[in-house]
Amino acid sequence: METSRSVLVLSILLVLGMTSVRADFVGFKIGASYWEPELVGSFIGDHPLDTPIDLVGDLGLEDPTPSNLVLTLEHPIPLLPNIRYQNIELDSTGSNAILPADPLIFNGVSYSGTVTSTFDLSHNDIVLYYEILDNWVNLDFGLDIKIFDGEVTLDDGGLTFPVPIDETIPLLYLSARFDLPFSGFYIGADLIGASTSDNSMEDTSIMLGYESDSGLGFEGGIKKFSLEINDVTDINADLEYDGIYLNGYYHF
């Protein structure tokens, strides 16, 4: 599923890229990012017998260290949005000893003994945005479509029933960048999120970066991804990934 979606996304980018070349191509950015977040939170399944499960205390999940590819395409066609794509492999695994007298119950199944687990929130981002300002102040506004393709699995050597996380969630996207005079350095922030009465999601980055005259650049800062969901793919969850990130790119 992940492979087919990635192929589809890259195909869309290729088509748009060919269109932009014919229409006076303006800019393309390719980069790679490394993130080192700390994971905290808990979740509970949707079965009446399910118990709350702490990601670290109960499952012993390790903090993920995702790396990802980032592609950005900007063009001069006013009515069409610019596009950015990135994939994030947000996959955590762990193992912990659970007493039979106090088992974990997930998806209606009781787990005890040595329980190994996977909590996977890997997803693709397709960001469609417009440039509101483009000078020493850069301001972009649009829509971030997060396409999740993960799962939650508990396994104690007996029966196990993975619960897929297969959702597409649209979020508001706002990006601001302020160029520091005559230096190549800049500061900025990406603010992505949405909230309803039952669910909320936030994906925020604050960064300091440098871009050379040749287009080679790097940036680093703090990235936070949090979500509170109720009855989404049979899971209720309240979790947060928060830590430093580094990004290198070439802009041409």
> CB of 241 within 8 A of CB of 45?
no
Give the Cα separation of 181 and 123 in Å (integer). 36
> CB of 170 within 8 A of CB of 194?
yes
Give the Cα separation of 175 and 191 in Å (integer). 6
Give the residue numbers spanning the domain of 104. 2-251
Summarised one tens digit per residue, pLDDT across range 208-227 is 999 999 999 999 999 999 99
Q: pLDDT at position 25, please? A: 60
Summarised one tens digit per residue, pLDDT across range 161-190 is 888 988 899 999 999 999 999 899 999 999
> CB of 123 within 8 A of CB of 90?
yes
Q: Is the pLDDT of residue 79 over 80?
A: yes
Give the Cα separation of 28 and 83 in Å (integer). 10
Burial class (CB in 10 A: 0-12, 13-18, 19+), 152: buried
Number of domains in the chain: 1
Q: Which of 42-46, 104-108, 208-212, 234-238 has the highest mean pLDDT?
A: 208-212
Q: Which two tokens stand for residue 12?
A: 């869309």
For residue 58, give every residue at least 6 positions away whose Cβ sits within 8 Å of its Cβ, in sequence order, or none.
96, 98, 104
Say what the pTM is: 0.84
> CB of 75 within 8 A of CB of 84?
no
> CB of 252 within 8 A of CB of 51?
no
CA torsion, points 42, 46, 51, 56, in degrees to nearest 10?
A: -20
> CB of 226 within 8 A of CB of 241?
yes
The domain that holds 144 is classified in CATH as 2.40.128
Strands (E), 121-234: 123-134, 137-148, 150-155, 163-165, 168-179, 185-195, 200-211, 216-232
Summarised one tens digit per residue, pLDDT across range 135-144 is 889 999 999 9
Q: Which two tokens stand for residue 159?
A: 């029966």
Q: Which two tokens stand for residue 49?
A: 């017998």
